[in-house]
Structure 1
């Protein structure tokens, strides 16, 4: 059936009425007659409006939705505007009150350019006297000149014509131990297995930077030799297969000249080495070189004998022959420490270079922390020996001593439990020196104890370092010593050591205009005036009400400071040697400055000195004093503050040894000196502006000796041949890239005495991670 679809009318022939109807213009009557006749038959308007619409009408859409939509948009815009206004007001109020601050700008030192000549190879060696170090630069020692020179260097065209490959130089055996009177020691006395020797190269890599702090020359350290990784670690298992007793590491990459270290001899099979037996036989063979052994203490609190230990007899002062002091190297470790190959290199080097090569002058011990206090190691000998054996590698068994925090709470009972920062007073973090003090108390045969850690690395010879630092410290005069101890020595700014001593004396006697007064409490005095401080001379005991110390054995000055001609203390063996300044934590923002236990602090803290990083040398006299202060007087301080403060209270000789410290960027040396010695009167501590304040310790990140520095870990990995931040690695060593041709980076060589700060290799040398027990 066909459908009839009405056609839409042309809009031009009609229009839309007000009621929505479509009115067709063609149907309208044009004449009056038609209008009249139509009007008679027309339906009234009201009725027409109520009737059905014609098929040709188109109704308009309703406007209710449009109104609602518009209203909603308006409300959203108004609400958004009010919200923004409120947030703006809150932000302004927060800024005014100081609750919200914009992120701080990056530290200034991050804008300094990196130094590039730390990774020069042994093919570029030149005598140290002929070397032009990349840094420090005497002509550019200010902030402005450094930035300007870096910009010019970036825009200037390169003038480097490349590097011509040279042969690997011939290395030489390096043994700094004087063999006078020493009977040769062996790894295996029956087989007469010779101890390993290091291989060094004469000179330094071309352009190698000088240390920015500290010095080789003042100690007499040999700064004109360097070691590559094979010459330093090859004797301890690097570079040959596990089948022959090595580690299997270092078999790839640049190896030209690596076998020089063995000199045609067979590599050492470390699976057959017993270090405990070797060092015991070495010490026994050379016992006539040392002072006689005192009577050993018994463990009377566990053995429960009748009575207690007798006092040790006084040693004879006069000796026909000058005998050497025995020294212990105490390595702090813990029960579940995982020893990898790189750790084994480090430990073998310590025992060989300090004990066997010296003829028993040093004895290496492991002080093992048992973290599980419920293990019955103090009540069952079998359990003690089992835990001790499981805690050390097989070749070092027989060299360890266990300790636990529960044991320390028994020995040093009665000390107040302050729970500073939520940590126990007998814990390893706050009281590292408790087990060391007790170890010294039980081993009176040692005159000195080197407190060492598992995460220190040194590219030089350990005996050379320990011997030179110890002898230098013994020759330091007491006058001005504590004041020098509190400052970083920067040769490019301070000149010679004598010039540095004179500068410290002037700063101490006359003071300096320092802005630390702005942090002091407001008072009627003028804090901006230059106020000098009296030099430290003799013991400085605590002055709090009720504070007691044993003073009868404290050394006293022979005269007044003005009458002393830098003679008191010369030749006196140092009781405490540190490798960072002994700074005054008073008024600094060092987070642990107030970890003081057992003293009256109601009116102020006792005199304190702190050396960050516990690696140090302590005398038996100092450790025995610390032991008695803690056990009898119930005194203690944070681990890095206790030895220096105890030495200060009792007038013992403490020395900061300014060993060579390097930095990764081109710091203006004048700016560096102002940052690191920014404490009171030119010292490193004593003021809020101290570099040891928590908010300022970031300045150490690029140095080679600090507990959280990143620079030394990168250096060590590059030295081992690994790729770091896209540089180094096997490809660069073997083939070279770009202008670095012919193995320019082959076997990176560092100058003698390069320190690495505490850091820890985990599982493999390529993975670096800080270890915090």
Structure 2
């Protein structure tokens, strides 16, 4: 296709040719658009937008009056007017219209509805031409191929100041032509009223009169010099403009998105957001053990039973395969479940009816006499809960044997501690004597009235149930203690009562009366052997809400430890008053009122109040470190602070059991406390601290003698050698935090006091610390045998050094510039402490300004002073079938096979999840589930009363410690009118 002709440059008649200077290159046109010179008849392009696209193509004379205006009004979205021109006089009128080229490229697209207007004087002549196309040769051919030519033969126009004559356009041959009458005013397509006369006059008035009157300059030259210039504006390309804007917007948005995503990604990395979830722990893939929930109808003797766990290694592998296949079968059963007539009829399994076994009374108390356990000791005087009626709480009921397939403990041992493992306890025989299983109107709890109750009548036999609404345990215990005073050592003289610093037993008033009575009534000692006095401190607080399940627990503690033993243990409540502004030290009456409100009515008078502000006054001068934003005198960081002061104010107690409200024991408390104390007393000191730092796994370690020998090898020779069979680590240990060479090298066993080595660090009364009678190698495991333990714990005493235990650095008052003092930690504060240890802790805190975090302070203090500390490996169960080799490696994964001393310790914060399935740890989940199932309730949609009745009956558990047990909501019977 040929190119569109350039703007026509007029070949003016020589007689009419205009001379003079060229017009300015850029002058504003009448409509405010920049144009180029209008000389030589060049038309300028004007564009205006209304509802429709509107184009003006105008030619202006020397006085800025438009001579020819071409309006283009159309709705087509594509065409654009590019340029137009006309011939000077004597030539055919031509003008070129640009638009969208046709696909063939030969001619221009159709443009419609054009109006050609000639403005002359007062008149406007309009010619409407519809549907024409314009070829390159200048011939105007109508669309319908009429081959007509529009000529302006009479056009006599002079460029410049001469206007077009009135009859300029009078011979136009074309279809659809309309010639309107002359008019002086008209409306544009935008709706505005146009007055050509005003436009013309306004333009003429703007011309300087000197330009008209001057004869020294030709007229046309003046016009040419004064005429404004108009340009051929390129037509606006709407599509191009919008397309460019859209692309720019997209690019801008993309850039903004990239910048924002980069900033968000950086913030997410810093905060750990979006980080892929860590894979589940390996133990979550082990199958659950199922025989914990066996019923009493499946009881078998311990000798004839085959425990479900632990088992041999080949059986463990097969168990994992079977568990995987069973899970697959369940999944297949869900997806391919048969329906309709093809559904198989499920035939219920007929269970063999087994006769209900008979229970027996469980009596763990020692026998006195010549052939008894306690030769030379005076037998206890029997005590009653009601002195007038001579009523006593019946002994617990136990069943011989264990439920079929019941697992063995994975850590600890019954035989080692002397605990009985040939009996088990179900809920009625264990809790029935304390109000479980009978109505509130008879003084019971109203719980346990439904479900499997077969054999529950054996609890009371022919006796009536005890109405615990009338029992006052403080009076019962005081009378029992008085009746059995001859069996114990004479109490030392009590310290003076300083009132606000008093740790009164039952309150200041009661303490004064007791002291006076003790002086007036000297005890007659009738036996040669005397017992030590022991108190059991139950930690609680003033706003604690006691429910029926808590009452079973407290009644069992008081009755089994104190009343039935002849007060070998005195039960006491250590009540924390959380409100530091409470005026409990204002007078005796206020103290008694707060104390009575803090405890149930049954235990009125058995408590001792304390507050953190009181500890701040007594142990003033401690460096206030605010470790983890907690005060050093707070109950969390200094749990033993009120205990050590209680021991200081009550020197009559040789030992103090520190007990918690969320501990449960399925067996007999006296049996547990006695056996643990006796075993700890027989432990030799040689290698004791090293054995204290390890879990005992009988399935892997063998007998206790084998375990003791293994510990000595690991300690004295280390585990760096590949040939050392005790140096294996768990498969997941040491990957991210490999142990250094020092963690495998040999250690120096603890032998005697291990004091702090920091500059300026001294201990209280170091001359009174026990010293070993000989060197380590010459001792034949004799030193310490028969010596009462100063500290007994139920978890290993691990070394927090180099572990990631989050509280390892909570050390106050020691010089830590070059390192921390030797430390030992036992998680869970349930323990037994001697008066010697507590008094030393008290003096360290008051005189040396030393203390540590609660679970680290007693063990560390015993280590510094050479006292005897013992970890009692009580039976601990686990809910899944861990391979025992893997379990032993994970739990003893510290330095040289210990539990602590390295980052890979199981007590490091990121590894404590391994305890979740055990029965004894501060955040374990298994104890609460097992306890609730044992009580007959449904847990995770398993168990419950209906299940027990339809299957093996209620659960029967051997004696086991459970922690934590919190907020057990029992279903209880309510009396008429009683609020629910």
TM over 0.5: yes
2:497 pairs with one of 291, 295, 299 = 299
Q: Which residue of 1 is the match for residue 301 of structure 2? A: 127
Q: More displaced, 476-485 or 719-728?
A: 719-728
- Structure 1 position 82, deviation (Å): 3.8
Q: Deviations over 1:174-215 (max 9, x none)?
A: 111124222211111121012232111111111111111111
Relative distance call for 1:90 and 1:375 in structure 2 (3 A) is: closer
Question: Structure 1 residue 177 and structure 2 residue 361: aligned?
Answer: no
Equivalences for residues 348-387 of structure 1 within 5 A: 348-387=555-594
Equivalences for residues 190-229 of structure 1 within 5 A: 190-229=388-427
> In 2, Cα distance between the equivalents of 1:136 and 1:73?
72
1:532 pairs with one of 709, 721, 746 = 746
Q: Deviations over 1:36-78 (max 9, x none)?
A: 99999983579959999xxxxxxxxx99886676556544543
Q: Which residue of 2 is the match for residue 5 of structure 1? A: none
Q: Deviations over 1:600-636 (max 9, x none)?
A: 1111111000001000000111111111111111110
Question: Structure 1 residue 761 and structure 2 residue 967: aligned?
Answer: yes
Q: Deviations over 1:482-541 (max 9, x none)?
A: 00000011111111111110110000011113799999999xxx8378410100000011
Q: Is the 8 A contact 1:459 1:754 kept in 2?
A: yes
Question: Structure 1 residue 645 and structure 2 residue 860: aligned?
Answer: yes
Aligned residue for 2:437, secondary structure, equals: coil
Q: Which residue of 2 is the match for residue 346 of structure 1? A: 553
Q: More displaced, 282-291 or 341-350?
A: 282-291
Aligned residue for 1:430, secondary structure, equals: coil
Q: Which residue of 1 is the match for residue 167 of structure 2? A: none
Q: Which residue of 2 is the match for residue 18 of structure 1? A: 110
- Structure 1 position 668, deviation (Å): 1.2
Q: Which residue of 2 is the match for residue 719 of structure 1? A: 934
- Structure 1 position 377, deviation (Å): 1.6
Equivalences for residues 410-489 of structure 1 within 5 A: 410-489=617-696
Q: Is the 8 A contact 2:112 2:131 kept in 1?
A: no
- Structure 1 position 667, deviation (Å): 1.1
- Structure 1 position 89, deviation (Å): 5.8
- Structure 1 position 109, deviation (Å): 1.2
Q: Is the 8 A contact 2:743 2:901 kept in 1?
A: no
Q: Which residue of 2 is the match for residue 740 of structure 1? A: none
Question: Structure 1 residue 279 and structure 2 residue 477: aligned?
Answer: yes
> In 1, Cα distance between the equivalents of 2:326 and 2:684?
46
Relative distance call for 1:98 and 1:409 in structure 2 (3 A) is: closer
Q: Which residue of 1 is the match for residue 251 of structure 2? A: 78
Relative distance call for 1:176 and 1:44 in structure 2 (3 A) is: farther
> In 2, Cα distance between the equivalents of 1:36 and 1:534?
122
- Structure 1 position 79, deviation (Å): 4.5
* Bigger-Rg structure (1/2): 2
1:166 pairs with one of 340, 347, 354 = 354
Relative distance call for 1:383 and 1:99 in structure 2 (3 A) is: closer
Relative distance call for 1:140 and 1:712 in structure 2 (3 A) is: farther
> In 2, Cα distance between the equivalents of 1:429 and 1:48?
104
Q: Which residue of 1 is the match for residue 906 of structure 2? A: 691
Q: Which residue of 2 is the match for residue 9 of structure 1? A: none
Q: Deviations over 1:273-312 (max 9, x none)?
A: 11111111112222222212221222146599xxxx9xxx
Relative distance call for 1:303 and 1:520 in structure 2 (3 A) is: closer
Q: Deviations over 1:307-331 (max 9, x none)?
A: xx9xxxxxxxx99722111110000
Q: Which residue of 1 is the match for residue 790 of structure 2? A: 575
Aligned residue for 2:766, secondary structure, equals: coil
Question: Structure 1 residue 114 and structure 2 residue 288: aligned?
Answer: yes
Q: Deviations over 1:423-476 (max 9, x none)?
A: 111111111111101111111111111000111111110001000000000000
> In 2, Cα distance between the equivalents of 1:648 and 1:351?
33
Q: Deviations over 1:332-366 (max 9, x none)?
A: 11111111000000000000000111111100000
Q: Is the 8 A contact 1:146 1:667 kept in 2?
A: no
1:104 pairs with one of 274, 278, 281 = 278
Q: Deviations over 1:140-192 (max 9, x none)?
A: 487x666434324445799x976423232111111111242222111111210
Q: Which residue of 1 is the match for residue 700 of structure 2? A: 493
Q: Is the 8 A contact 1:484 1:504 kept in 2?
A: yes
RCO higher in structure (CA 8 A, sep ≥6): 1
> In 2, Cα distance between the equivalents of 1:382 and 1:30?
123
> In 2, Cα distance between the equivalents of 1:196 and 1:29?
123
> In 2, Cα distance between the equivalents of 1:456 and 1:50?
111
Relative distance call for 1:530 and 1:336 in structure 2 (3 A) is: closer
Q: Which residue of 2 is the match for residue 263 of structure 1? A: 461
Q: Deviations over 1:93-132 (max 9, x none)?
A: 7899996643211111112111111111111111111111
Q: More displaced, 391-400 or 283-292?
A: 283-292
Indicate the structure with greater helix content: 1
Relative distance call for 1:578 and 1:75 in structure 2 (3 A) is: same
Q: More displaced, 129-138 or 352-361?
A: 129-138
- Structure 1 position 379, deviation (Å): 2.6
Relative distance call for 1:562 and 1:419 in structure 2 (3 A) is: same
Relative distance call for 1:63 and 1:122 in structure 2 (3 A) is: farther
Aligned residue for 1:618, secondary structure, equals: strand
Q: Deviations over 1:526-559 (max 9, x none)?
A: 8378410100000011111111112111110000
> In 2, Cα distance between the equivalents of 1:633 and 1:219?
37
Q: Is the 8 A contact 2:393 2:466 kept in 1?
A: no
Q: Is the 8 A contact 1:185 1:195 kept in 2?
A: no
Aligned residue for 1:129, secondary structure, equals: coil
Q: Which residue of 2 is the match for residue 13 of structure 1? A: none
> In 2, Cα distance between the equivalents of 1:693 and 1:30?
97
Equivalences for residues 38-77 of structure 1 within 5 A: 43=172, 70-71=243-244, 74-75=247-248, 77=250
> In 1, Cα distance between the equivalents of 2:645 and 2:586?
19
Superposition TM-score, scaled by structure 2 size: 0.68
Aligned residue for 1:201, secondary structure, equals: strand
> In 2, Cα distance between the equivalents of 1:228 and 1:320?
39
> In 1, Cα distance between the equivalents of 2:131 and 2:586?
115
> In 1, Cα distance between the equivalents of 2:354 and 2:238?
88
